[in-house]
Amino acid sequence: MKRTFVRILVLGFLLSILATPSVAYHLGPPSVDNNENPTAIYGCTCHGVGGPLNGQPSDRAIVSVSGVPIQYDIDVTYNFTILVQDANTLAGESGNVAGGFLMSSGDIGIFSWDENEDIRAAVGTPDEDSTERSTSYNISQSDVDDDGQWKIQWTAPSSDVGTVVFHVAGNSINDNDQADEGDYWNVLSFSINAPGTVSNADDIDSLVTRTVSVGTYQNLFVAEITDEQIEQERQVALSSDIFLKGNIYYWTSLVMLILGAVVQREVIERKRGERPPYMASELAYPQMIRFSIIAIVLFYFGVSLKADASSTVLWATSFFCSLWASYGVYRTWLAMNTEPSPDDLM
């Protein structure tokens, strides 16, 4: 019965690993990146070219915030719309549509949002576990948005605190559950002046809200592209998608074949009353210790790689090898408890 339970546990663990690539983990970026820098200022450095530690920003990612006033009035609430877009998609070619963001006001004022918005207090802030739909700290998406758009409210402070500086990190992603070069991010900074900075007498038009954006002039305003470029991008995206899915199916099939062979051997051994060849305890214990250390180290690497949003292939391989080493401990234990034959005792 104990051995049956072990086999079921091994099978369940492997299946959970195989299922993980199809499950997205999109709870929003943390307030600091892998280098302990503010994400809203330094960007989503685990994504893009150079990730997962030093990913670089891309002008292909267009980040904009509309509804921004020139100056704030005390205790007044303003409606902002955050947009994160892929310039290629805007140009009518193949590109990313999903996205995420992280926004900071330097903990000045109050952010709030409606129930139907996928927004939360950012990971790493004091309010990260709060269920309230408002916070004075950084905010981010609580799940990837399919159109890269969020509507929020910002309530100005109850006193004149001077100019308020905002930072927004926006990430346009290919939504393949990996932080890779197919994601494009950028950072946007803007400020809202203190009350009384601009008077009605100065310029009435300057008091209306505005839209602030980051991106090249070409991407923001021109965005012209030829049919040949569109087809080239489509072919590149298609080949990348086929390569990714092919890898997933190949390695999934291989793991299932290995798992099937292991289970089949276990079943046959039970039916025939067989066990692994006898191993003396003075040899078995050191081997079990070695396998255990390997399993623990590989499991630790797997957890670290997954936490750093590394490639699924890397952390899944670490988990699988850790499980395989654990299975080695189990087989060694069986061999140690096998009834020795006369030849084994000679």
Question: Domain span at residue 146?
Answer: 40-226
58: domain CATH number?
2.60.40.680
Based on the fold, state whether residues 52 and 185 are members of the same structural domain: yes
Find where tokens 């809200």 sit. Answer: 209
- Gap between the Cα atoms of 265 and 281, Å rounded: 24
Residue 24 within a domain: no
Which ranges of 141-277 does DSSP label H, i.e. alpha helix?
A: 217, 227-272
Torsion from C-alpha of 99, 58, 56, 106, nearest 10 degrees: -60
pTM of the model: 0.56
Based on the fold, state whether residues 74 and 221 are members of the same structural domain: yes
Domain-terminating residue out of 189, 206, 226: 226
Strand order in the sheet with 119-121: 119-121, 139-141, 98-104, 164-173, 184-192
Based on the fold, state whether residues 6 and 88 are members of the same structural domain: no
Phi, psi for 233 (deg, rounded to 5): -65, -40
Instruction: Give, for all 346 residues of the chain, the pLDDT tens digit.
Output: 455 555 555 545 544 444 443 333 357 788 787 778 888 888 777 776 666 666 788 878 889 999 999 899 999 999 999 998 887 776 666 677 788 899 999 999 999 999 889 899 998 899 988 889 999 999 998 887 777 889 999 999 999 999 999 999 988 887 776 767 778 888 999 999 998 887 654 555 555 678 888 866 455 555 555 567 677 778 888 888 888 788 888 888 888 898 888 888 888 888 888 888 888 888 889 999 999 999 999 999 888 888 877 777 788 888 889 988 999 899 899 888 888 877 766 6
Residue 231 within a domain: no
Based on the fold, state whether residues 323 and 205 are members of the same structural domain: no
Residue 189 within a domain: yes
Based on the fold, state whether residues 63 and 95 are members of the same structural domain: yes
Domains identified in the chain, total number: 2
Based on the fold, state whether residues 154 and 271 are members of the same structural domain: no
- Gap between the Cα atoms of 212 and 170, Å rounded: 13
Do 167 and 37 contact (CB within 8 A), yes or no?
no
Residue 77 within a domain: yes
Residue 32 within a domain: no
Based on the fold, state whether residues 61 and 161 are members of the same structural domain: yes
Based on the fold, state whether residues 256 and 210 are members of the same structural domain: no
Do 29 and 99 contact (CB within 8 A), yes or no?
no
Based on the fold, state whether residues 86 and 52 are members of the same structural domain: yes
Domain-terminating residue out of 202, 226, 250: 226
Based on the fold, state whether residues 115 and 73 are members of the same structural domain: yes
User: What pLDDT was estimated at residue 51?
Assistant: 62
User: Which are the contacts of 112, defined by CB distance < 8 A and separation ≥ 6?
Assistant: 77, 133, 134, 152, 153, 154, 155
Domain-terminating residue out of 226, 253, 271: 226
Residue 340 within a domain: yes
Of the candidates 327, 65, 15, 8, the residue with the CA atom closest to the CA atom of residue 212: 65
